[in-house]
Structure 1
Amino acid sequence: MAKQISPQYRLTVYLQAGAGLRISETLAFTPNCVRSDFLRVRRQVSSKAHRDDCKTRFIPLKHRAEGEYRDVPLPTFLSEEIDMHLREWGTVMTAGMDVLFTPRDRGKGAMPTANTYAYHFRKALKAAGIVKPDGSPKYTPHGLRHFFASTALAHGIPIHEVSRWLGHKSIKTTVDVYGHLVPASWDRCRTVMQTALRPGSPTA
């Protein structure tokens, strides 16, 4: 899938799938979001950012006030992808920000937005043959964010941590959407209680 995306936008796939960023947050990504072993997500792109007359291209995160941010773990592979992108493509100054993802060609708009990105994402899926029987794209960009959440939960990462990394307003949102993916803890609970209340006895 990432191979079918325009080379300049390949990193967007990994930021969404590997760090759970929303599309609008991914498109607003700047080098100063990178810390030693985590990403500091600071802003998102306005839905009108592609327009030349847009006065505010970058806006606060969803459910957050101006200046608020959230931190997300940075896996090594993603750090390497970011470094490779910066070496190859650099940044472009837009609205006072050194952004990674912005059209290099004239007439393509000032900034990509969630809507314009989704259009090209659908084209990439079709080019890769990732389609439904009727020929429509099988996934949406938001599916990459779902991949991040479901993979983390399936491997035992606490749901409250995943909720915070996703930037959900309430953990209830995370539980409602992903609660069924949390591994069952029946056997672990039995072992813990047996050990706590009958130490030294067989646990099975």
Structure 2
Amino acid sequence: MTSKNHGLWGPERLLFPNVTRTGYLYASYFYRQIWLVALTKSEVAYCKPHSMRHYYGSRLLYAGVPENDVADWMGHSSTDVLREHYHYIFEGAEQRGRAAIATMLTPGADDPTERAEVA
């Protein structure tokens, strides 16, 4: 679902306002009337709505989006809170950083059309 197709509601710009249009999305309404219907229509295996939030956050972090941006977008009060929730992503970060630098220093890494010369 996108805001382009369905519009946004209220000053909070909610994509899923509740049926009473008060601005609060009641879990019981969302789960039965929106979430399960969306899973069925999309033929997606069952998952909890909150799992999608964690998937979104972790994918952003794995893609290299800065922690402060992800924390802000997810509504966390600080990057410390973000690190608490996604600690598993930050484990091994040094090794991933070294691997990234090694890849960038590989001949031809800047230009995918360039062939690395073999010495």
Which range, TM-score by smaller chain? 0.5 to 0.7
1:152 corresponds to which residue? 60
Structure number with higher helix proportion = 2
Of the candidates 76, 81, 99, which is equivalent to residue 187 of structure 1?
Answer: 99
Partner residue, 1:172: 80
Q: 1:122 is matched with which residue?
A: 36
TM-score, structure 2 as length reference: 0.54
**Structure 2 Cα separation of the partners of residues 144 and 190 of structure 1:** 33
The SS at the match of 2:77 is coil
Residue by residue over 1:100-145, the C-alpha shift from the partner in whole angstroms, topping out at 9 and shown as x without a partner, is: 6453xxxxx4446241212331354356362xxxxxxx32222222
Amino acid at match of 1:187: A
3-state SS of 1:185 partner:
helix
Pick closer, same or farther for the CA change 1:110–1:83 going to 2, 3 Å. closer
Asked whether 1:85 is paired with 2:13, we answer no
Of Structure 1 and Structure 2, the greater strand share is in: 1
CA contact (8 A) 1:118 1:140 kept: no
Which secondary structure does the structure 2 equivalent of 1:144 belong to? helix
Higher relative contact order (CA 8 A, sep 6+): 1
RMSD of aligned Cα (Å): 3.6
Give the paired residue count. Answer: 95
SS of alignment partner, residue 86 of structure 2: helix
Q: Distance in 2 between matches of 1:126 and 1:83?
A: 22
Q: Give the whole-Å Cα distance in 1 for the aligned partners of 2:12 and 2:77.
A: 26
Mapped partners of 1:97, 1:179: distance in 2: 30
Pair 1:97–1:152, CA change in 2 (3 A): closer
**1:174/1:126 CA distance change after superposition, 3 Å:** same
* Gap change, CA 1:145 and 1:99, over 3 Å in 2: closer
1:118–1:185 distance in 2 versus 1, CA, 3 Å: same
Q: Aligned residue for 1:113?
A: 25
Unaligned runs of 5+ in 2: 105-119
Q: Which runs of 5+ in 1 are unaligned?
A: 1-10, 12-80, 104-108, 131-137, 193-204
Contact 2:57/2:70 (8 A) holds in 1: yes
Q: Are 2:61 and 2:89, in contact at CA under 8 Å, matched by a contact in 1?
A: yes
TM-score normalised over the length of structure 1: 0.35
